[in-house]
Amino acid sequence: MVQKTKPDIRTLIAGQPLFSGLPAESIARIAQDVRELHPAKGEILFSKGDECKGLHIVVVGQIKLSFISPHGQEKVVEIIRQNHMFGEAVMFMEKPYVVSAQALTDSWVLFFPKTTIFTELERDPQLARKMLAGLAVRQHQLVNDIEGYSLHSGKKRVISYLLQEVSDNALPAEGHAFTIKLAISKNTIASRLSMTQEHFSRILHELVELGLITVQGREIHVPDIRQLQKYED
């Protein structure tokens, strides 16, 4: 469970990209209604069809957005990482959730009621611009995902995922080697990349044979990030 010394909620909110730069009085108004959530690994934050009552921002951890297909298979739509929000599009549409949200790791999440957000949007156009920018980025990512699934090989998709994991951490100053510790299951990653777990494992084996990575359980060691970045099918 991610819950240590209770932080100053105003400082925490002001440090989020969505709210950075807002005046102190705006932060104070927002802070009055914010709820801190500490979902344990596997805990459901909401299910598909639930009423959307606001948006969430991940402070620590990873949240999986997914749905179950008519054939009973889970499809992972997105994995929300630190400092990213989710639920804002449905909030504006005032529709039920179209996906379920589940903590992939012990996490720390802020929940912002939509009444608070709507009131503040009317007061401060700066917040409206930031939220529009966030929605635009999400749409751009969706287009990139569709392009990747349509045009890129499975191997390129896996490499892109690994490089994303690297970009979420600071590279060591002394070299280009890096070890990625997968916090989530290979099955979840495979679903996110629109492939089976068997296909994902086979691609990891192929990358090992190419000398681009070594694998030990959930640890993936990349001897040279540059070589992984330059790889072409």
Are 67 and 164 in a shared domain? no
**pLDDT digits over 156-201, tens only?**
889 888 888 876 665 554 457 888 888 888 899 998 888 889 999 9
CATH number at residue 191: 1.10.10.10
Tell me the pTM: 0.75
Amino acid making up residue 45: L
Residue 45's pLDDT is: 97
Let me know if residue 2 belongs to a domain.
no
184-196: pLDDT as tens digits: 888 999 988 888 8
Contact 227, 178 (CB under 8 A): no
Per-residue burial over 52-82, b if 16 or more Cβ lie within 10 Å, else e, is bebbbbbbebbbbbbeeeeeeeeebebbbee
Residue 76 placed within a domain: yes
Is 1 part of any domain?
no
Q: Of 125, 150, 175, which residue constitutes the final position of a domain?
A: 150
**Domain residue limits at 116:** 9-150
Helix (H, G, I), strand (E, B) or coil at 103: strand
Answer yes or no: do 94 and 200 share one domain: no
- CATH number for the domain spanning 74: value is 2.60.120.10
CA angle 62, 117, 53 (to 5 degrees): 65
Asked whether the beta carbons of 224 and 213 are under 8 A apart, the reply is no
- End residue of a domain, out of 150, 176, 206: 150
